[in-house]
Structures are given as C-alpha cells and as structure tokens.
Amino acid sequence: MIDPLLNKIFRPPLALAAKPLVGLGISANQVTVFGFVLGILAVPAIISEHFDIALILILLNRLSDGLDGAVARQTHTTDAGGYLDISLDFIFYSAIPFAFIVSHPEQNALAGSLLMLSFTATGSCFLAFAIMASKHNIDNPQYPNKSLHYMGGLAEGFETIVVLCLFCLFPQNFVAIALVYATACCITAGVRIVTGYKTLKRLS
C-alpha cells in the first residue's frame, strides 16, 4: 500500500550500500540468491522455535531484496534477473507460514493454509496482469524501474514484511495475525482482478 513511497525513501541509502558490492564484482543475481538462501534458513529456525534468529534472517532477506535491485541499476538490469527475483520472493513469502504450520500443525494449519492460499491469489493476479501489461505496453509510473508491471493493493511488499516479522515477534498470536492478513490479501486479490479485468476490457 505504501511501497512506492518507501521505494523513494530507501533508494538512496540502498544505492550507497550497493556501491561496495559492485566494486567487488558481485552481481545482482548473486545478491538475489544469497538473500533467498538466508530467507529459507528462517524455516528451520522457526520450526525449532528460534524466532529471534528467524527474524534476523527474514530482515536480511528483505535487505538483500532491496540491494539486488540497487546493484542491478548500477550495473545492468535484465529480464532474467527480474524473473529470478520475483520467483524467489514468492517462494520465500509462502515458506514462512509453511514453517509455522510445520512447527504446530494442530494450532496453525488452518490459518497458515488460508494465508498461503491468499498469497497464491494475490500473486496469480499480479503476475497474470504483468504479462498482459507487457503485451499491451501499459505504463507503470509508480514503479518505473521494475522488470514487471506492479499492481498495487492493500497488501503489498512492506505489509507482508511487517506481518512476517510479527509472526516471529509474537508466535503465540500466529493464527490471529495470519487470519487478519489473509483477509487483507483476499481483498487485494479481489481488487486486482476487477481492476485488471476492467483495464484490459477497455483495450479489447
């Protein structure tokens, strides 16, 4: 919901942080994969109930997600890199609720599964519209440097990061947090589907 504003705020410091990486010859794709590995390591940390470690790994994953774009802008942006970035992001997002389901299946299975379903809903309409937007050359002024067309909504990247962190800070409240955010994701998916359909209908 506030991702465009945060992108403007964090872009300058991320650009500064990316310069040493570029100087060392580290590529954006290497940063993407490294960040993904860190994020996935949060899964065993959550299952073993080391939530403080999981929180640090999640935050490092998100930092890497910002740095890879900054590195790419200072070197060379590619469709392959954008594809890798968004693919690993979606896997990471679902991996965290999966870990909470595995850790306490009796308590967390229903809410966690609903959250993962809502992630699939938001991600599916997001990616489907991105394909059509590329086909019809639809502008994306809020995210001019992104590889894909980004549809906004109530639940975007920043909100998802906050929720994943809340899971680790308040694991005993996983069910309540997951249900509230799943509702937000479902609303986002509904709005994206309707908005995307109307936009494409006008172009038909």
- Neighbour count for residue 19 (Cβ, 10 Å): 12
pLDDT digits (tens, 9 = 90+) for 10-59: 889 999 999 999 999 999 999 999 999 999 999 999 999 999 999 999 99
Q: pTM score, two decimals?
A: 0.89
- Give residue 203's pLDDT band: very low, low, confident or very high (50, 70, 90): confident
Q: What is the mean pLDDT of residues 113-120?
A: 97
In tens, the pLDDT along 125-181 reads 989 998 888 888 877 655 555 555 667 778 888 999 999 999 999 999 999 999 999
Residues 27 and 7: their CA atoms lie apart, in Å, by: 21
Q: What is the DSSP string of 72-129?
A: HHHS---HHHHHHHHHHHHHHHHHHHHHHHHHSHHHHHHHHHHHHHHHHHHHHHHHHH
Q: Tell me the C-alpha distance between 138 and 200, whole Å.
A: 10
Extract the tokens encoding 59: 């935050």
Is the predicted pLDDT of residue 112 greater than 90, yes or no?
Answer: yes
Cβ-Cβ contacts under 8 Å for 114 (sequence gap 6 or more) = 178, 179, 182
Domain 3-203 class, CATH top level:
mainly alpha
Instruction: Write down the pLDDT at residue 136.
Output: 84
Average the pLDDT over 175-201 and give the result: 95
